[in-house]
Amino acid sequence: MGMRVCVLSSGSIGNATIIETDETCLLIDSGLTLKKLQELIKTQGFDENKIEHMLITHEHSDHIKGAGVAIRKWHLEVWGTEKTLDAMYRKNILREGYERVRAVRKNVWYEIGDLLVMPVRISHDAVDPVGYFFKHGDKSLVYMTDTGYCTGDILKEIANADAYIFETNHNVEMLQMCDRPWMLKQRILSDVGHLSNEDAAYALSQLIGDRTKHIFLAHLSQDANLPDLAMMTVEFILKEEKVNLDRLKLHMTYPLAPSNVVQL
* Mean pLDDT in consecutive groups of 10 residues from the start of the chain, 264 residues: 95 97 98 98 97 98 96 96 97 85 97 98 95 97 93 88 97 90 87 93 96 98 95 97 96 97 98
Type of residue at 31: G
CATH number of the domain residue 155 falls in: 3.60.15.10
| Entry field: residues in the chain | 264
Query: Would you state the torsion angle of the CA atoms of residues 254, 132, 147, 262, taken in this order, to the nearest 10 degrees?
Result: -30
pLDDT computed for residue 99 by the predictor? 67
- Strand order of the β-sheet with 16-20 is 101-104, 77-81, 53-55, 25-28, 16-20, 4-9, 262-263
Q: In terms of residue numbers, what domain contains 235?
A: 4-263
Q: Helices in 28-178 by DSSP H: which ranges?
A: 34-43, 61-64, 67-74, 82-90, 152-157, 172-177
Bridge partners of 214?
A: 163, 249
C-beta of residue 17 within 8 angstroms of C-beta of residue 63: no
Type of residue at 52: E
Residues 69, 179: Cα–Cα separation, whole Å: 33
Beta strand residue intervals within the chain, DSSP E: 4-9, 16-20, 25-28, 53-55, 77-81, 101-104, 110-112, 115-121, 130-136, 139-144, 163-167, 214-218, 249-252, 262-263
pLDDT computed for residue 184 by the predictor? 85
Strand 77-81 vs strand 101-104: parallel, antiparallel, or unpaired? parallel
Closest to 37 measured CA to CA, from 60, 57, 67, 59: 67
Q: Helices in the chain by DSSP H: which ranges?
A: 34-43, 61-64, 67-74, 82-90, 152-157, 172-177, 182-189, 197-207, 227-240
Residues 128, 81: Cα–Cα separation, whole Å: 7
pLDDT computed for residue 77 by the predictor? 97
Q: For 78-93, give one letter per residue: b (16+ CB within 10 A) or e.
A: bbbbeebbbbbeeeeb
Give the chain's domain count. Answer: 1
Residues 180, 187: Cα–Cα separation, whole Å: 11
pLDDT computed for residue 222 by the predictor? 93
